[in-house]
Amino acid sequence: MSQQPPVRNKISITHLRDMKANGERIACLTAYDATFGRVLDEAGVEVILVGDSLGMVMQGHDSTLPVTVSDMIYHSANVRRGVDRAMLMTDMPYMSYAQPEQALSTAARIMSEGRAQMVKLEGGGWVADTVRLLTERGIPVCGHLGLQPQSIHRLGGYRVQGRDTESARQIREDARVLADAGAVMLLLECVPRSLAAEITHALSIPVIGIGAGSDCDGQILVLHDMLGIGFSHRFTRDFMQGGRSITEAIERYARAVKSREFPAHEHGFD
């Protein structure tokens, strides 16, 4: 008698909360098409982000700003076709959520046409009303604090955020406000590891880091960076080195996150 393959439960928000509560690390990566969506899903990645980073790694722009809602819907729907188990999260692109009602329309399209299960938006307290509105309408939201690529011109470049007392206080406060507004997850990008650890321990929702140290509940990288064919940053690691295939590299990444081997100290900021 042939054996049936093991049943893999679909990842839900409740599952992610339970992982945080149990101290299990959450592995996240970006994807932009069905093939990589399937590979990440089978490798055990819990959250797949269709990021507006596609503007840089797929479209060749020098920032995420030119990416449109239609771009996000197209790539999100493609990834969805390859994913069975992982949770699919999709970015809301630049100026698509400037007002709460606009955000609701954008998120509804991303969820229905792009088949996402969660949307991610950048911003602090000023998006709290938007997060509250989307949450009340049944749309799960992930906040994004620290380095916010859509605000790159205001920030003056791709720089670590929260190093001085006032900016650290603001990020800390924004994290609390977003969680209170109903955000079900938070992404911290390029903030000091000590600040990320403090926020992670203070919030009941999962906190995912990129360049935010090892104390976050999970980690995310841009897929192409992790494969050594994208941008090289201090917080990235080339998992293709010493590997035999892309699939093996992705599996190594997922294991490294879960075992807390990655990120190491050198991948974070003081």
From the centroid of its chain, how far is CA 129?
Answer: 21
Annotated catalytic residues are: 189
Separation of alpha carbons 117 and 159, rounded Å: 30
Kindly give the pairing relationship between strand 47-50 and strand 118-122. unpaired
Positive or negative, the CA dihedral 208, 268, 214, 180 is negative
| Structure tokens that stand for 114 in this block | 């792009």
Rounded distance, CA 79 to CA 165, Å?
40
121's torsion region: left (phi>0), alpha (psi -120 to 50) or beta?
Answer: beta
Contact assessment for residue 145 and residue 175, using Cβ atoms and an 8 Å cutoff: yes
Spell out the residues 6+ positions from residue 46 whose beta carbon is closer than 8 angstroms to its own: 11, 15, 16, 19, 26, 27, 28, 86, 87, 218
Q: Is the peptide bond before 206 cis (omega within 30 degrees of 0)?
A: no
